[in-house]
Amino acid sequence: MTTQLELRIATARRAATYVNQGYHCSEAVVKAVAPHVVRDWCPACLRSATGFAGGLGGTRMELCGALAGGVLVIGALFGRITLEDDALAQRLAAQFRERFIETFGMTQCAALRENVVNVDGGLGSCSELVERATMVLLSLLGEAGVQLKEESSE
């Protein structure tokens, strides 16, 4: 039986592979994670991540797509469908942001590319950032009781 840690690592690597295949960072996180944790996931939902690509519409001026993709997954899992309590989704989104900053030092796409990805000795590619961000997300979700499924239809 595969452990949750092994599933997290494989999922994070899959997210990096999606970036290398041409998916945007936001799409890669959603495509790698959501089918394994969101019960009513449908592949068409992936489209909701596209506009967050490249720091929002390719501008690189706003939040990193990997962070946005993770927040989309949190919303798909814990977001409200009525006007009832949204505290868990809000708390997890804030915690994901905090941990993202602890890991990378910032959230803006352009700044991350300049200071974390493309700097001498940096990560070298956004796929590495996406892989690490996905691990941060999956650790947080695990703490919230979310278990990855081994098999899913993407």
In a domain, 12, yes or no: yes
In a domain, 150, yes or no: no
pTM of the entire predicted model: 0.94
Split at pLDDT 50, 70, 90, the class of 17 is very high
Residue 41: is its pLDDT beyond 80?
A: yes
pLDDT of residue 79: 94
142, 133 contact by CB (below 8 A): no
> What number is the average pLDDT over the span 49-53?
96
In a domain, 148, yes or no: no
Angle at 68 between CA 19 and CA 85, to 5 degrees: 145
In a domain, 153, yes or no: no
- Interval 70-83: pLDDT, tens: 999 999 999 999 99
In a domain, 72, yes or no: yes
Q: Tell me whether residue 81 is exposed, middle or buried, using C-beta atoms within 10 angstroms of its C-beta: 0 to 12, 13 to 18, 19 or more.
A: exposed
> What number is the average pLDDT over the span 88-104?
98
Residue 129 in tokens: 């950032």
User: CA-CA distance, 138 to 153, in Å (whole number)?
Assistant: 19
In a domain, 137, yes or no: yes
Q: Could you give phi then psi for residue 63, rounded to 5 degrees?
A: -65, 150
pLDDT of residue 153: 43
Q: Which residues pair with 63 in a beta bridge?
A: 108
In a domain, 151, yes or no: no
Kindly state the percentage of the chain with pLDDT values over 90. 88
Residue 101: is its pLDDT beyond 50?
A: yes
66, 73 contact by CB (below 8 A): no
User: CA-CA distance, 28 to 111, in Å (whole number)?
Assistant: 20
Q: Which residues pair with 108 in a beta bridge?
A: 63
Domain carrying residue 24: 4-143
- Interval 20-30: pLDDT, tens: 999 999 999 99
In a domain, 154, yes or no: no
Which range among 63-67, 68-72, 78-82, 110-114 shows the weakest confidence by mean pLDDT? 78-82
The owner of tokens 């890991």 is 103
What is the count of structural domains for the chain?
1
